[in-house]
């Protein structure tokens, strides 16, 4: 259509930055023919896509009507990402609200869907490891056009006749350490927050069962199994999510 202008990205973000905590939101994703449309829900240390940013991403990749959404997760440190995983969901995320959460402390980063841990990213706690733990992050969400790559590798294009594409949000909750330059506001030697305590440094017994079920049934892609792309696998791939 000659004279139409498509707004290709919109979103919102927190005013505050946080370093470590629990971040949770309910989302209901763009329904119907959502091919090419990505709903992103992520944390990032910068407002733009700067070259040294840290980032923790949930990206929901739309699809043609009736075809399944995929959830892509990724982690960036100092501007380097390439830590993608892709999962199927066990429900239709366009029919109702579901809870998507991030647990982040200095030992692990866990991505949850309805309290089920779908991905565990560990810190090996050595110098120069690949784990974002220094930079406080804002939380963002946005809906954008990614039809050059998102759906079947870019084969399925966005059908703009169906615009606007709407994702809905509710129940945002943050239980985290708020940052105030140059220090975190929550620093305290006597009171510690649950998301920073020993019990949150690894999965619980029940969480391990759920995680094992996800690993067996819902993983579509894991960069740690992609030896064509990584002849030498990134070091964190040898860390056990079970410990
Ligand atoms: C979209 O549906 C197709 C066909 O079922 C599937 O192959 C693909 O993995 C789905 N998701 C994406 C993001 O391409």
Residue with CA nearest ligand 1 atom 10: 68
Question: What pLDDT score was predicted for residue 49?
Answer: 81
Q: What is the pLDDT of residue 212?
A: 98
Does the beta carbon of 34 lie inside 6 Å of ligand 1? Answer: no
pLDDT score recorded for residue 91 = 98
Cα 108 to averaged position of ligand 1 atoms, centre (Å) = 30
Query: pLDDT of 91-126, one tens digit each?
Result: 999 999 999 999 999 999 999 999 999 999 999 888
pTM of the predicted model as reported, rounded to 2 decimal places: 0.94
Q: Is 61 in the pocket of ligand 1 (CB under 6 A)?
A: yes
Structure tokens at 235: 């070091």
Model confidence pLDDT, tens digit, residues 41-86: 999 999 988 899 999 999 999 999 999 999 999 999 999 999 999 9
Question: 152 CB less than 6 Å from ligand 1?
Answer: yes
- CATH code for the part of the protein at 9-230: 2.60.120.200
Q: Among this protein's residues, is 180 annotated catalytic?
A: no
Q: Ligand 1, closest atom to CA 156? A: 14
Pairwise CA distance, residues 18 & 33, whole Å: 35
Backbone CA torsion sign across 152, 145, 46, 60:
negative
**d(Cα 70, Cα 150) in Å, to the nearest integer?**
9
Residue 236 annotated as catalytic: no
Segments making up each domain of the chain, as ranges: 9-230
**Model confidence pLDDT, tens digit, residues 144-203:** 999 999 999 999 999 999 999 999 999 999 999 999 888 777 765 445 789 999 999 999
Nearest CA to ligand 1 atom 2: 67
- 6 band by pLDDT with thresholds 50, 70 and 90: low
Q: Which two tokens stand for residue 208?
A: 């391990």
């Amino acid at each position: 259509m000659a004279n139409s202008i498509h707004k290709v990205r919109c979103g919102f973000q927190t005013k505050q930055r946080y370093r470590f905590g629990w971040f949770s939101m309910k989302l209901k994703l763009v329904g119907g023919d959502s091919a090419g449309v990505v709903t992103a829900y992520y944390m990032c240390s910068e407002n733009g896509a700067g070259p040294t940013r840290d980032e923790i991403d949930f990206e929901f990749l739309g699809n043609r009507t009736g075809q399944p959404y995929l959830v892509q997760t990724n982690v960036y440190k100092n501007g380097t990402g390439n830590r993608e995983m892709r999962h199927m969901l066990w429900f239709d995320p366009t029919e109702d609200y579901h809870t998507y959460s991030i647990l982040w402390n200095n030992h692990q980063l866990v991505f949850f869907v309805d309290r089920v841990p779908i991905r565990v990213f560990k810190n090996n706690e050595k110098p120069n490891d690949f784990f974002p733990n220094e930079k406080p992050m804002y939380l963002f969400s946005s809906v954008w056009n990614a039809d050059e790559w998102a759906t079947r590798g870019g084969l399925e294009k966005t059908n703009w006749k169906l615009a606007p594409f709407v994702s809905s949000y509710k129940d945002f909750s943050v239980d985290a350490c708020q940052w105030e330059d140059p220090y975190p506001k929550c620093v305290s030697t006597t009171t510690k927050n649950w998301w920073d305590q020993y019990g949150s440094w690894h999965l619980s017994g029940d969480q391990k069962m759920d995680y094992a079920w996800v690993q067996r049934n819902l993983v579509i892609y894991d960069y740690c199994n992609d030896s064509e792309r990584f002849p030498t696998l990134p070091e964190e791939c040898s860390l056990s999510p079970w410990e």
